[in-house]
Amino acid sequence: MRKDRAWSSFERPRGVRACLADAWRAYALQPGKYVGFLLAPLLAAGAAFAAAGYMAARLWADFVLPLRLLAEAVGGAAPALVWAALPPRAVALAAGAVVVVAAGFFVWSGVAAAQLRFVRLHGRLPGRADAPEAAREALAAGGRALAVGVPVALVEAGLVALAAWLRSCEGVAPVAGAVLVLVLAVLVAVAAPVAFVAHVVERRPLGQSLWLPVSGFVRLMGGFVIIGVLTLAMLVPAVACALLPLATWLLSAHAGAMSYLMGDAAEAVPAAATGIWFAGAVPAAAFVLLGMSLPLWAFAYRLAADAATTGRPRRSPAGRQGDEK
């Protein structure tokens, strides 16, 4: 198969290097078509993540930071007590940020997986004429992505909270336990892309997808780790540059809140500050999500190559019939 067409096939075995190369070719050979299909959903998802970041900044500056400083002033208090003292408005703000993040993840994961699945079925990137089919795929893929992402996020949050609690205890044993829990959290984060691709892109059952990283740990994890590390090495510098203005805005908001709480004269926040945040955050978040779509291709190639080399069917007969329809 010619290299300029190899990216469109998920039927052939690939090594890690070929997975990365073909993931890049999927974008580089037709960047306009690749980005054009994703552009509007990326901006919508970027707006959702920008709104979540704004709500998180307001939650920190208006509620968490004052409670934290108050707890330190009265002799210190456990972090859990600080969070328990949040008023209903702050809890609603935090819940709203979580809902908005879930909505952004639904949009991004749905459209990114729909583009992948379209290439698997048709051997080409979707165009304008394929919008109805791609929209149906995106809605189904977004729901399946949430089915994988929600339990993974809950497990990760529980493990991080457990590690923080163990770290706050006295003694060597709790600290060692916290380290082990954090290692387990890293393993869950590494296994999550396997389950995501299996359930969302290949349409395997949810239980089978969540169990796949465990049953194929030795066979699958090495390739996924290498792909993840190499793609992060390329994406992190670009992402850091894109997010630098937003980090400056957040640090300025934090410094302003600290200054006000310490008794300095409060100055009115410019009315344009919120607009400036969204004007910078939406395209930055869309750029980050675009970059995250490329590793998704490499992960999908890797899982498909595993099925090709081991002789395992990638989809059940019922799933294959559903795809053909």
d(C-alpha 41, C-alpha 299), whole Å: 21
Q: What is the pLDDT of residue 89?
A: 87
pLDDT digit string, tens, across residues 3-59: 567 888 888 888 899 999 999 999 999 999 999 999 999 999 999 999 999 999 888
Q: Determine the average pLDDT of the residues in 74-98.
A: 76
pLDDT in the model for residue 205: 94
pLDDT, residue 196, reads 94
Which has more confidence, 127 or 69?
Answer: 127
Q: What is the mean pLDDT of residues 200-210?
A: 92
DSSP designation for 124:
S
Cβ-in-10-Å burial (0-12, 13-18, 19+) of 176 comes to exposed
Q: Is the pLDDT higher at 319 or at 208?
A: 208
Residue 67's pLDDT is what?
78
Q: What is the pLDDT of residues 169-204, one digit of tens each?
A: 777 788 888 889 988 998 898 899 999 999 999 999
Looking at residue 295, what is its pLDDT?
92
Instruction: Give the pLDDT of residue 323.
Output: 44
In eight-state DSSP terms, residue 129 is G
Q: Which two tokens stand for residue 215?
A: 């049953």
Report the alpha-carbon distance of residue 323 to residue 325 in Å, rounded. 5
Higher pLDDT, 300 or 67: 300
